């Protein structure tokens, strides 16, 4: 729920949230931050790679983010924040300081890894870096993984900054979002087959376009395409 009356939030959050403290903040790039939250309440939490958490980013505003991992033994959780600069979530993440007390709702969710797949194809944008780290951490080093992350020109090193062996594809000029990913897909020669699962995330419009390409032109079965929109043009929170 992206918005909630402040009075209701003040009542509900203390009941449901896990209190944590920010212990580490890394500025990976000017608009990319990795933040570590630690709290006893996270110890023993149920976490699956791909699960999301929710932060209260303003008196009435809540936003979703994806832990790269949760260490349920030590109660530590890490999130990679893309600071897109146009909303309260981005501003909140940018203002976080070590020592800050932060309530975390979750983790939970249904977007998870297909552990039966032999080939994992990851496609998304800057908001998905943490998600893709989480999915990859759960796979053996021998896993067959491919994919691309659409970024602004100049941010081609971002997948590498978070340890992802994925291709960065820069957006060019006035082309619609997702076109760089579509071009990558077209040149990849990728075809749907038993054992291949595609994960589409990030910008909602890009997901629609990529999903259509996979299902209608690349022979993917619906069950082999998992998608989760993380943000949409002009929309506040998803
Ligand atoms: C389940 C889930 C998990 C997510 N995990 C992560 C994560 O781990 N890391 C992360 O960085 N983000 C993540 N996101 C995306 C993040 O929640 C959204 O980008 C969210 O809109 C940010 O809130 P905001 O208050 O900054 O902007 P909002 O108030 O939601 O939006 C304000 C304006 O900014 C635009 N906008 C929102 N996001 C972007 C963007 N990325 N680029 C350009 N314009 C944008 C909107 O279209 C709107 O016009 C996740 C989203 C979901 C649903």
For 41-77, how does the pLDDT look when each residue is reduced to its tens digit (9 = 90+)? 999 999 999 999 999 999 999 999 999 999 999 999 9
- Cβ atoms of 203 and 178 within 8 Å: the answer is yes
- Cβ atoms of 2 and 52 within 8 Å: the answer is no
CA of 231 to the centre of ligand 1 (A): 5
Q: Which helix (H) or strand (E) holds 102?
A: strand 101-108
Could you tell me the pLDDT band of residue 186, with boundaries at 50, 70 and 90?
Answer: very high
Query: May I ask the CATH architecture of the domain 6-108?
Result: Beta Barrel (2.40)
Q: Does position 112 have pLDDT exceeding 90, yes or no?
A: no
Check residue 133 and give its pLDDT: 98
Residue 39 vs residue 13, higher pLDDT: 39
Which of 92-125 are b and which e, b meaning 16 or more Cβ less than 10 Å from the residue's Cβ? bbeebeeeeebbbbbbeeebebbeebebbbbbbb
- Cβ atoms of 130 and 107 within 8 Å: the answer is no
Check residue 118 and give its pLDDT: 92
Check residue 234 and give its pLDDT: 95
Q: How far apart are CA 102 and CA 53, in angstroms?
A: 12
**Residues having CB within 6 Å of any atom of ligand 1:** 52, 57, 63-66, 79-82, 84, 86-90, 127, 130, 230-238
Could you tell me the pLDDT band of residue 172, with boundaries at 50, 70 and 90?
Answer: confident
Q: How far apart are CA 83 and CA 33, in angstroms?
A: 8
Q: Does position 213 have pLDDT exceeding 90, yes or no?
A: yes
- DSSP states along 48-73: -TT-EEEEE-SSSBEEEE-EEEEETT
Residue range(s) of every CATH 3.40.50.80 domain in the chain: 119-231
Is 119-231 assigned to CATH 3.40.50.80? yes
CA angle (115 as vertex; 137, 156 as ends), nearest 5: 40
Residue range(s) of every CATH 2.40.30.10 domain in the chain: 6-108
Could you tell me the pLDDT band of residue 153, with boundaries at 50, 70 and 90?
Answer: very high
> What does residue 143 show for φ and ψ, rounded to 5 degrees?
-60, 145
CA of 233 to the centre of ligand 1 (A): 10
With the CA atoms of 135, 141, 147 and 152 taken in that order, what torsion angle do they form, in degrees rounded to the nearest 10? 80
Check residue 121 and give its pLDDT: 97
Mean pLDDT of 8-23: 93
CA of 178 to the centre of ligand 1 (A): 16
Atom of ligand 1 nearest to the CA of 91: 26
CA of 117 to the centre of ligand 1 (A): 29
- Cβ atoms of 113 and 138 within 8 Å: the answer is yes
Could you tell me the pLDDT band of residue 233, with boundaries at 50, 70 and 90?
Answer: very high
Could you tell me the pLDDT band of residue 194, with boundaries at 50, 70 and 90?
Answer: confident
Share of the chain above pLDDT 70, in %: 100
Rg (C-alpha) for the chain, rounded Å, is 18
């Amino acid at each position: 729920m992206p918005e909630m009356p402040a009075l209701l939030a003040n009542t509900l959050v203390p009941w449901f949230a896990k209190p944590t403290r920010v212990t580490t903040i890394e500025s990976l790039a000017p608009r990319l931050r990795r933040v570590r939250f630690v709290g006893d309440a996270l110890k023993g939490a149920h976490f699956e790679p791909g699960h999301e958490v929710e932060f209260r980013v303003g008196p009435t505003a809540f936003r979703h983010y994806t832990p790269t991992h949760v260490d349920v033994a030590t109660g530590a959780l890490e999130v990679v924040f893309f600071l897109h600069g146009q909303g309260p979530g981005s501003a909140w993440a940018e203002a976080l300081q070590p020592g800050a007390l932060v309530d975390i709702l979750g983790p939970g969710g249904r977007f998870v890894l297909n552990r039966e797949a032999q080939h994992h194809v990851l496609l998304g944008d800057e908001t998905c870096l943490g998600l893709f780290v989480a999915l990859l951490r759960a796979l053996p080093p021998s896993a067959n993984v491919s994919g691309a992350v659409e970024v602004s020109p100049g941010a081609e090193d971002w997948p590498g900054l978070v340890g992802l062996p994925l291709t960065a594809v820069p957006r060019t000029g006035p082309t619609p979002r997702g076109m760089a990913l579509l071009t990558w897909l077209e040149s990849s020669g990728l075809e749907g087959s038993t054992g291949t699962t595609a994960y589409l995330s990030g910008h909602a419009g890009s997901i629609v376009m990529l999903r259509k390409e996979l299902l209608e032109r690349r022979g993917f079965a619906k069950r082999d395409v998992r998608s989760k929109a993380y943000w949409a043009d002009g929309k506040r929170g998803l």
